[in-house]
Amino acid sequence: MHIDLIHYIYIFFIIIIIVFMIMRKDIILICILGLFTIGYLYSNSVLEGIQTVYRGIIVSGTEFWNIIVIISLIVSMSNTLSDIGADVIMIQPINKLIKNPTLGFWLMGIIMMIFSFILWPSPAVALIGAIILPAAIR
């Protein structure tokens, strides 16, 4: 196995992406440029370079659609519970225990940890956190 120029270009773009992330700058254009450059160098075709960018978007989209849907469902379930007032009823026993912000933080973390042990992997853990958060903030 040997390392070609394309491998060094890949490492270069990874380093540039990390540096820009540390600087809190936008990295989307750098990622697109990196995908195009690697696709072009691999195939010696501008068209293949452009296709590499689109293939990267499709692959990343298929990996993240599930996460986006779960987050959307959790937000809608949380809003539904708030609209019907069920979140207030569910939090009443916990409200008695929360005396200050520090205790609220730790209690919320412990409850979410217990639910994650029982229900993981499930969006219910995040939903429980979204329900408990307003009580912890108060």
Please, where are the H alpha helices in the chain? 5-22, 28-43, 46-84, 86-95, 101-119, 124-137
133: number of CA atoms within 13 Å, CB side?
11
Separation of alpha carbons 117 and 124, rounded Å: 12
Minimum mean pLDDT among 59-63, 92-96, 117-121: which range? 117-121
User: What 3-state class would DSSP assign to 100?
Assistant: coil
Residue 138: predicted pLDDT: 63
Q: Can you tell me the mean pLDDT for 47-56? A: 96
User: Residue 135: is its pLDDT beyond 80?
Assistant: no
Residue 81: predicted pLDDT: 78
User: Residue 72: is its pLDDT beyond 80?
Assistant: yes
- Mean predicted lDDT score pLDDT of the chain: 84
User: Residue 71: is its pLDDT beyond 70?
Assistant: yes
